[in-house]
Structure 1
Amino acid sequence: MSVPGSRQPSPLPPASLRGAVDLSAFKARATAAPPQHTARPAGAGTPGETPAATAPEAGPGAATVPVEVDEANFPELVQLSSQAPVVVALWAQYSPESQRVRDELGADVAAYGGRLAYATADIEAFPQLAQALGVQAVPTVIAFLKGQPIPLFQGAAAPAQTRQLFDELLRVAEANGVTGTVDGAPAPPPSEPPLPPLHQEAFDALERGDLGAADAALTKALAENPADHEAKAALAQVHLMVRTQGLGQEEADRAREAAAQSPDELDPQLVVADLDAAGGHVEDAFARLVGFIGRNFGPEREAARVRLLELFEVVGPTDPRVSSARQQLARALF
């Protein structure tokens, strides 16, 4: 990128692919980060609230810290289930088996990296919940998804069965648009669809700085599919990098001086327009070529028009600066 306030372009290292010319853009797959919500851990509630039994602090393979459900925070739990499925283990003091399941389930939930929330409910302290859910024995494990209860299992379950149930729960959640996370855990990145083979070949070539191989792969991609807009844009960017590669300060200064002294000489105008575009001054590049087109006719005018259209591809057809320059070009031509 150019230094702020300066018109001198710095070299464009192909491997970094940064700045006005970002050749990795055609590989990017935009994904929106899901919202996050921090569940209130047991024992961290309002003053006077009875601390609940908690599992060890979450970590790799460790149990997650559960929320102990009561009448006050139950609406919050239901609301949370619109962001991520909430697994609720119902237990009782009189049932050691239910306490064991309650504690062990925390590690199973933690293995999902925040994609599941975990809560526990003492049916003796909150009998209304057990009655509303029709729970007749503990341990019973129920999930909430978008406010709706989903029975999972009653009694003890083998770890493999638990994972299978949780996997299915997450599939149902995803089908219903519930893909958030809890406890600040990052959502696992979505799998990225593979690039078409020639696009991947071009990207790999750019990563190792081989502009010739990238050009060849993208040219072949366009020959096979002339409507491949990503390949067309990437090829325009590669061409710009080839034209500006290795231009140092002396060459840039000479080009600018020649362009200033001979405003109607094509080659200096093309070089400086490339330098401006590569350095991020795309409006200056567009204005230079539009001005040349408005003053000239014949083959040189057409060459400037073709270069301008190629720079439009570099910047991107939806960029407002391109839309403005297209209007100016139309006025210059007609």
Structure 2
Amino acid sequence: MTHPRGSAASSAAMSAALSGAVDLSGLKARADAARQQPAAGAPPRGGGEGQSAGGSVVEVSEASFQAEVVDRSMETLVVVDLWAEWCGPCKQLSPLLEKLAAEANGAWVLAKIDVDANPRISQLFGVQSIPTIVAIAGGQPVDAFSGALPEPQIREWLAKLLDALRDQLPGIRAAEQAGGAEPEEVEDPRFTEAEDALDRGDYAAAQAAYERILDAEPANELARAALVQVRFAARAGEVDAGALARAEADPADLDAQLAAADFEIAQGSVEGAFTRLIDAVRRTAGDERNRVREHLVGLFELFDPADDRVASARRQLASALY
């Protein structure tokens, strides 16, 4: 499952810990008992009072957890917000989640759980800090993150969850269709800036935009892959068709060989470009060989690592080097 950018590591660790380790149905017996013996003179705290059963935001207690979270997650995505009154970041995140849930028109449901009033639920999820947000689908946790993330990242996280679960949970598609439109694609304004620069042909501005994303989020794979593509596009855009002729005329001219390989990649002659540089590796040594090798490895990054052409060229490169 995907995670919000900037929190992938903690989210992945939390999801791994939750996956297969949390049996949410374990609360059912206690919930049944709590419903049979409510506190005198008052309904169970957080049981959804003041909220409709079909609402997009519900307050949940141990007594209502089975119905509002586990059972409901069999039909649609339930996002559990584990919070407390004393938690500063919770006061920033909870209103944002409520706003997003209202916008979703029932495509997903926000279940708010006060950890102080419901400590056994907190223990069930193994919560280490709050706010902690857990996505529940089909009665089990499927993803999670902690901390008050920025709105664009949360929107992206939700959009990817809905995309992944739309065919499994009928309530998601039903709510979207009732709303009269498919969910809007979430756009990260930082990527939009880079893409707008590309549309203008301003490779320098696009490169700078992607570099700013990576400065803030070094593990952002989308930005890293895009930066590789932009750098190549800028470089290849300066190569003319005469590069091939120059490279053929002088095999020892490394600048010509590298430029010709870029030209071939841009023209779709991937194997030709790889072979050209592998042959150059065989003919060179020392710093020159390393320069060619680095250029070739950079070209590999333009493609899926599983691409057969890349796998074959990597084997040939290893043979040429060793």
Q: TM-score range by the shorter chain?
A: 0.3 to 0.5
Give the structure, 1 or 2, with the largest relative contact order (CA under 8 Å, sep 6 or more): 1
- TM-score normalised over the length of structure 1: 0.42
Structure exhibiting the larger radius of gyration computed from Cα positions: 1
- TM-score normalised over the length of structure 2: 0.44
